[in-house]
A and B are shown apart, each in its own frame.
Chain A
Amino acid sequence: MNNVRNKKRANKSLPFFFRIEFRVFFTIILISTILLISTFSFDTVPPILNRGIQPATFPKGLLVLIIVLTSIIYYLSFKKPWKNEKNLPKPFFLTILSFIIFIIISKTLDFFLAISVLSIFVSYNWGERRIFYLLLVSIIFPIVVFIFFEMILGLRFPPGIITNLYYY
């Protein structure tokens, strides 16, 4: 209980632009506003073809609703500040990094190589050091998954340096 109070106090003592509620509010409002502006560039249909409302009207209404509701939660947070979450640990950022590596490898080299690299990277950074288990998650399991999807479900994976060995 004291811990939660301390966290809240810590959050309240920060300048407003560092507080979590402001950062969340700002992010949502910024993205919603950009999206709202982009709805004005949607094509319009002539009245004869228009069924009820223009295609942009509904998303516009939703974005305005999101902006209004977000403003309400921000206003209410003045009375009741959000609790300050603890800092994210290193493995979290390494996992995000592994996603980026996955995207790069799957786009440039090979889809399954990307899965293998991500698996070994995540497993190692989460603390696994035993060779057998690292091989299990990075090689054996992806092969099983490939065989299952390819042979049983008849799925064709995108071409790449490893999948091409199988396909050609």
Chain B
Amino acid sequence: MMAPLFSSKLLLVLLFGTLFGLVLGVLPGLGPTTGGALILPFTMTLDPLSAIILLTSIYCAGTYGGAITAVLINTPGTPAAAATCLDGYPLAQKGEAGRALGMATVSSTVGGIFSVIVLVFFAPILANLAYEFGQPEYFALAIFGLTMLASIGDGSPIKNLIAGAFGILISTVGKDFMTSIDRFTYGINELSVGIGFIPVVVGLFAISEMLTQSTLLDQVFKRVALKAVKLPTKDDYKKTWKTILRSSGIGSFIGVLPAEGGTVASLIGYSEAKRFSKNPEEFGKGSVEGIAGAEAANNAATGGAMVPTLALGIPGSATTAVILTGLIIHGVRPGPDLFKEQPEFLYGIFGAMLIANVLFFIFGFFGAKLFARITLVPNKILWPMIFAVSVCGTYSLSQSIIDVWIMLFFGVLGFFMRRYGFSVVPVIIGLILGELVEGTLRQSIVIFDGNWLMFLTRPIALTFFVLSFIALAFPLIRSKKNKKII
């Protein structure tokens, strides 16, 4: 598994990716999704394996990096670290920031490694299953992935679905891939090739965050003092090992589900840790179990999310949507054939993810104090710099100034979407699944000679439709219970 990695170039890429991922994770508002999208144009100079290793190491380390900010300044560096704030910061306030970060580092590493093992075993099984899939099955699977959007985050399921449908709508801009007829181009030649993924992602994540930061200039972060990260004590291990393992399992499972990711995983991991705990009253006041539950789950989701991404070409999270784009840009087609034709490529990725988890443990353990200092870079200096990189990165992919306008447009749109409770993640997932949904639907209709009911005669497709129905019904029922349907 590790053999392809024994080259100084790949190890260097891995090292850089892990460090860069940590920095992105630590900075509130950035994160592995935005960072991955920003660095995607730079990967064009790399070979496919190096490029994907860079993106996956950013994904693993960035997910962990969010915990440092969550513990020290009570602001999640990434959305996946939101649940870590609940107990990480109170524990840090008690003068035990080192213990809180130590627990976050250990549980993130265990969760991450656990999920890579899940990835190694389950991705080939899922890929083999995918050989049974025809166009109708892929359509049903994509619909399942989209309906899962209803349950992401803690936002409104209906708003998530609107955002997902909007994402698919964006994918229809340009020439229709079956008939070459222009759609929504309005005579603009540059739009004939469609709207690129990178301008949309960079706009929705980086530029909209820049606008959000412009509204938060009066916010002052108070950083808790940190002497050094401490390894958890024997007592801590005794208290948390079951939680870490449970959350690793939960995180990996949630990660495998299309469209779900670390944010959902950490919230469920945290609430399950509380439910199973002997001391639930300590949660919210600095419980190490709470930190372990959230952190093991969000890092376990990284490997899990790579399973559908590599085996089926369906992204397991927003960041894996960026990785999927990276694969496609580099001419690698995810799916069952990839496992048959390029096993060494896949094992390179698996091995890299495993090493990235070990590396962020080392960097996190010895360098958390240094990484925490990055949060001191003032926004008034940081964001203009991020803007410069975003603009050049977006321009560089197809050397089109129109892409930069599109990025700015989606930045403003993303800001207002977030302001009014629409998550931007479904737009990204919808955009990446759009072509698959439309293509497989139209081909299925041809296969079925226009008879839509024929979908119901395909057992796998039917199973996915039933799962889609459950995926839609569950969050709606839950939201109705919590009165959070809108």
Contacts and interface: CB of A to CB of B under 8 A. Distances in A.
Interface of A: 20-21, 24, 28, 35, 38-39, 42-45, 49-53, 55-56, 58-59, 62-63, 65-66, 69-70, 72-73, 76-77, 80, 82, 85, 88-89, 91-92, 94-96, 99, 102-103, 106-107, 111, 115, 118-120, 122-123, 126-128, 133, 136-138, 141-142, 145-146, 149, 152-153, 155-158
Interface in B148-185: 156, 158-159, 161-162, 165-166, 168-169, 172, 176, 178-179, 181-184
Main SS of chain B's interface residues?
Answer: helix
A73 B387 CA distance: 34
Contact of B217 (A103, A126, A158): A126
Interface string B321-336: 0000000000000000
B387 A119 contact: yes
Nearest to B448: A52
Contact of B169 (A42, A51, A66): A66
B456 interface: no
A43 B168 contact: no
A72 B182 contact: no
A43 B181 contact: yes
B442 A126 contact: no
B162 A82 contact: no
Contacts of A52: 441-446, 450
B30 to A, nearest CB: 16
Contacts of A80: 483, 485-486
Contact of B395 (A28, A43, A59, A157): A157
A68 B50 CA distance: 45
A91 B184 contact: no
A158 B184 contact: no
A141 B387 CA distance: 11
A122 B165 contact: no
Nearest to B415: A92
A155 B41 CA distance: 11
Nearest to B449: A52
Contacts of A35: 169, 184
Contact of B45 (A62, A69, A95, A153): A153
A155 B399 contact: yes
Contacts of A156: 399
26 contacts: A51-B446, A52-B442, A52-B444, A53-B441, A58-B172, A59-B184, A62-B172, A69-B162, A73-B156, A94-B214, A96-B211, A99-B411, A102-B391, A111-B395, A111-B401, A115-B387, A118-B387, A123-B381, A126-B214, A127-B380, A128-B378, A133-B381, A137-B384, A146-B392, A149-B396, A153-B41
B44 A119 contact: no
A53 to B, nearest CB: 6
Interface string B434-474: 00001001111110001000000000000000000000000
B215 interface: yes
Nearest to B419: A85
B217 A89 contact: yes
